[in-house]
Chain A
Amino acid sequence: QKEVEQDPGPLSVPEGAIVSLNCTYSNSAFQYFMWYRQYSRKGPELLMYTYSSGNKEDGRFTAQVDKSSKYISLFIRDSQPSDSATYLCAMSVRGTASKLTFGTGTRLQVTL
């Protein structure tokens, strides 16, 4: 069983839709939860990170962490074609070297 599970998609939505991306994990030691966006043939770029449980909002993006369920989500409001990319969740354990454990990524396509 993988430490981090993520539906690979692809997920296709019309422009303006609300997108929900999710990951589950098995390691209860994870404390930091990140969402990266990766465009084709590029390196990942950090969108948001959350420490422990709770919500965090940044513009059109909202990250949620439910540690009791070992479940994290990223919501994208008013999705745009430029949001079309692969979204990777990543996690790390507090107090250790910042080794990141990634999900496989969900490919998102926002259509006009």
Chain B
Amino acid sequence: NAGVMQNPRHLVRRRGQEARLRCSPMKGHSHVYWYRQLPEEGLKFMVYLQKENIIDESGMPKERFSAEFPKEGPSILRIQQVVRGDSAAYFCASSSRTGGGTYNEQFFGPGTRLTVL
């Protein structure tokens, strides 16, 4: 059973370019979360999506960042006009269900390391 898949694992972009990060959740999981990890910092929540819906985007920067999880295909985190401060590791996690007062484990992918030159 494959785990959460992320690609690319490493991505280098120049300032002003676009970055697209992909996440395929574990089989049977329909909930996807994106987190960002800056050097020497913990993971920061960005966005939570279900198929075709954004549930919570309270951690997303107001500009340049967007996320989607289409009916078919992987979830995409898109960063437009990247700046050096966007350099970080971006982790995707998936879970089978959530809410209702129960805890459902989030399984994390290996991350995409974005470097902005």
A and B found bound together = yes
User: Would A99 and B40 count as touching, CB distance under 8 A?
Assistant: no
User: Would B45 and A43 count as touching, CB distance under 8 A?
Assistant: no
User: Would A43 and B109 count as touching, CB distance under 8 A?
Assistant: yes
A45 to B91, CA, bound (A): 12
| A16 contacts B by Cβ under 8 Å | no
Min CB–CB distance B115 → chain A (angstroms): 14
Nearest neighbor of A86 in chain B, beta-carbon distance: B42
> Interface range on chain A: under 10, 10 to 19, 20 to 34, or 35 or more?
20 to 34
Q: Could you say which residues of chain B place their CB within 8 Å of the CB of A105?
A: 42
Count residues on chain B whose CB falls below 8 Å from chain A CBs. Answer: 31
User: Would B42 and A103 count as touching, CB distance under 8 A?
Assistant: yes
Nearest neighbor of A104 in chain B, beta-carbon distance: B42
| A49 contacts B by Cβ under 8 Å | yes
Picked from B58, B91, B98, B105, the residue with its CB within 8 Å of the CB of A43 is B91
A8 to B41, CA, bound (A): 9
> Known contacts being A43-B110, A44-B108, is A101 close to B40, with CB within 8 Å?
no
Q: Could you say which residues of chain B place their CB within 8 Å of the CB of A42?
A: 110-111
Nearest neighbor of A103 in chain B, beta-carbon distance: B42
Nearest neighbor of A49 in chain B, beta-carbon distance: B103
Picked from A32, A44, A95, A96, the residue with its CB within 8 Å of the CB of B91 is A44
Picked from A95, A98, A102, A104, the residue with its CB within 8 Å of the CB of B48 is A98
**Chain A positions near chain B (C-beta within 8 angstroms):** 4, 6, 8, 32, 36, 41-46, 49, 51, 88, 90, 92, 94-105
Given contacts A98-B48, A99-B56, 8 further A-B contacts (CB under 8 A): A43-B109, A46-B105, A94-B101, A95-B99, A95-B100, A97-B55, A100-B45, A100-B106
22 contacts between A and B (CB under 8 A): A6-B42, A32-B103, A42-B110, A42-B111, A43-B93, A43-B109, A43-B110, A44-B43, A45-B108, A88-B42, A95-B99, A98-B31, A98-B95, A98-B98, A98-B103, A99-B33, A99-B56, A100-B33, A100-B43, A100-B45, A102-B35, A104-B41
